[in-house]
Amino acid sequence: MSAVLNFKSHLSELFARALREFAPEAMGAPILIERPKLAAHGDYACNLAMQLAKPLRRPPREIANALIAALPQTDFIEKTEVAGAGFINVFVSARAKQSAVHGVLHAGAGYGHAHVGGGRKVGVEFVSANPTGPLHVGHGRGAAVGDCLCRVLHAAGWNVTREFYYNDAGQQIDNLARSVQLRCKGVTPESPGWPEDGYRGDYIADVANAYLAKEAVEADDQHITGKGDADDRDAIRHFAVAYLRREQDIDLRAFGVEFDVFSLESALYTDGKVEETVNKLIASGHTYEQDEALWLRTTAFGDDKDRVMRKSDGGYTYFVPDVAYHLDKWRRGFTRVINEQGADHHSTITRVRAGLQALDAGIPQEWPDYVLHQMVTVLKHGEEVKISKRAGSYVTLRDLIDEVGCDATRYFLAARHPDSQLVFDIDLAKSQSNDNPVYYIQYAHARIFSVLEQWGGDRQSLHHADASALESEYETALLQRMIDFPQVIETAAGELAPHLIAFHLKDLAADFHSYYNASRFLVEDARIKLARLALVAAVAQVLRNGLALLGVSAPEKM
């Protein structure tokens, strides 16, 4: 039989055909396929009969038997049975499971990829750090989660655009310029005149020295040479922003993260997009003036109170350019927009969505989507690490990369649900033990390559191995885990949860290590030997594919 690459999707298709045969008037009913908690209940369970009981006005067990009778003849299914109130338990044939080995080897790097996105455009904005200093560990978590999410969405068939939004306007940039200017004039954070909200890290001195030395800076669209004039704060501001953008770019490249689009908050003002958005909101009738300020009636769109748009001094509040920015995204044709940000942005969700709805521009009500990550606590030798010499007040992303390497940093920052607090244990991330999940997964991959190297045969011959020889409980467990991989990608993409990939890889690695410890691969029986080697080669392929989605390497030797 030909290999099936996504068992759940294939089974859904079989039930859809059965439904068309049995009750065509019910076509379009959701077909939910799940893994039963107990192996005795089969490989998959379907509740379609129970969903149809009310609209068809028939007992669910009767419907279940009718659906089973209407299933197309296939050697994919070994048997079916009706359980409980009307669940349909499905037992997949051993032959179908064994054929997964050939499916993985044939698909290679494409195994697990799907087309659920249908090539639709999705914009993912992440990191989006203010250009006021080095990226901290929180930015690192956003970078890891956002980049992995982009990789997962791409694997699920979406046309992904990665975007970084620079807040290069406002009070924080003014504080940056003032801090650099003071350093240019020889004033240090220890001096009595240093402002309370000034930036204190050593990097401020680096920026000041580069400006005074008239250094040239290139950062994407920024090409600036330091003027050297300590009294020209405007020139210092432009130089400092460009310098720190370049530093952030360097850190992100070291982290394996790249972007397609860089957007600037300042450009929204200079291009007239903020003013245009405000005028559209006024024209829509959802604004009013009070206390010499312009307000948006966000309570009409679910907010707990109305929000000021333009303050009495004429300046705009921070959510106004955010609305203008998202209107621009809508006009760029994104079917979907996802913002990966820190949990401190939670309050902006309702305001931005309310502003977009108030524009009456046809933007969907729950647009954009948000993924918010919680804070990261860094431990070393059992104690919390809070500061970096370079940054002055926080742990930087570069600190972690230098300390534990890119692979471990990416894995640890992406391997938990973004909504959960994360403790980054530096000692664990550096350890070469089974307690370190990234080492554990990479070691499984390296172990497989050691076995294949020891064998020394033509690996293409494994594509023709007799997979029917794979019958042990260890082999069945590995087959099941590989079979689930495409669905894990679909679920991770659908739920915006790339950490599910990390969970799956750890389980797959555990299954392999158990198999490795309990079995011999280079046995005399050529049929069994090639089957086992084909299986572990397929496991290595799935590990590689999954690690690639996390941006983590798959070493052949360790």
pLDDT band at 438; cut points 50, 70, 90? very high
Peptide bond into 368 cis (omega under 30): yes
Higher per-residue pLDDT: 227 or 39:
227
Asked whether residue 480 is domain-assigned, the answer is yes
Cβ distance 219 to 245 under 8 Å?
yes
Report the pLDDT value the prediction gives residue 40, as an integer from 0 to 100.
Answer: 86
Report the pLDDT value the prediction gives residue 375, as an integer from 0 to 100.
Answer: 92
Cβ distance 401 to 409 under 8 Å?
yes
pLDDT band at 191; cut points 50, 70, 90? very high
pLDDT at 1 over 60: no
pLDDT band at 68; cut points 50, 70, 90? very high
Cα gap 392→376, rounded to integer Å: 17
Asked whether residue 407 is domain-assigned, the answer is no
pLDDT band at 418; cut points 50, 70, 90? very high
User: Using one digit for the tens of pLDDT, what is the confidence trace for 19-29?
Assistant: 999 999 999 89
Total tally of structural domains belonging to the chain: 2
How far is CA 320 from each of CA 289, 354, 357, 486, 532, rounded to the nearest angstrom?
Answer: 16, 11, 13, 41, 60
Cα gap 87→69, rounded to integer Å: 15
Q: Quick one: how far is CA 210 from the chain centroid?
A: 36
pLDDT band at 284; cut points 50, 70, 90? very high
Domain end marker among 92, 125, 155: 92
Asked whether residue 145 is domain-assigned, the answer is no
Report the pLDDT value the prediction gives residue 3, as an integer from 0 to 100.
Answer: 67
Beta strands in 319-362 (DSSP E): 336-342
In the sheet where 369-373 sits, what is the strand order?
A: 261-264, 159-166, 121-125, 336-342, 369-373
Asked whether residue 77 is domain-assigned, the answer is yes
pLDDT band at 388; cut points 50, 70, 90? low
Q: Residue written as tokens 């705009």?
A: 316
Report the pLDDT value the prediction gives residue 373, as an integer from 0 to 100.
Answer: 96
Average pLDDT over residues 272-298: 95
User: Using one digit for the tens of pLDDT, what is the confidence trace for 323-371?
Assistant: 999 999 999 999 899 999 998 888 889 999 999 999 999 999 999 999 9
**CATH assignment at residue 500:** 1.10.730.10
Domain end marker among 92, 109, 134: 92
Interior CA angle at 83 toward 475 and 44, to 5°? 35
Average pLDDT over residues 433-455: 97
Report the pLDDT value the prediction gives residue 219, as an integer from 0 to 100.
Answer: 77
Average pLDDT over residues 62-66: 96
Asked whether residue 426 is domain-assigned, the answer is no
Cβ distance 256 to 551 under 8 Å?
yes
Cα gap 276→313, rounded to integer Å: 19
Asked whether residue 32 is domain-assigned, the answer is yes
**CATH assignment at residue 81:** 3.30.1360.70
What residue type is assigned to position 6 of the chain?
Answer: N
Average pLDDT over residues 73-96: 94
Asked whether residue 234 is domain-assigned, the answer is no
For the record, the structure tokens of 328 come out as 């621009």
Q: What is the mean pLDDT of the chain?
A: 94
Domain end marker among 61, 77, 92: 92
pLDDT band at 275; cut points 50, 70, 90? very high
Report the pLDDT value the prediction gives residue 391, as an integer from 0 to 100.
Answer: 64
The domain in which residue 49 lies consists of 7-92
pLDDT-wise least confident of 296-300, 501-505, 538-542: 296-300
pLDDT at 534 over 80: yes
pLDDT band at 2; cut points 50, 70, 90? low
pLDDT band at 283; cut points 50, 70, 90? very high
Average pLDDT over residues 42-64: 94
pLDDT at 141 over 90: yes
Asked whether residue 168 is domain-assigned, the answer is no
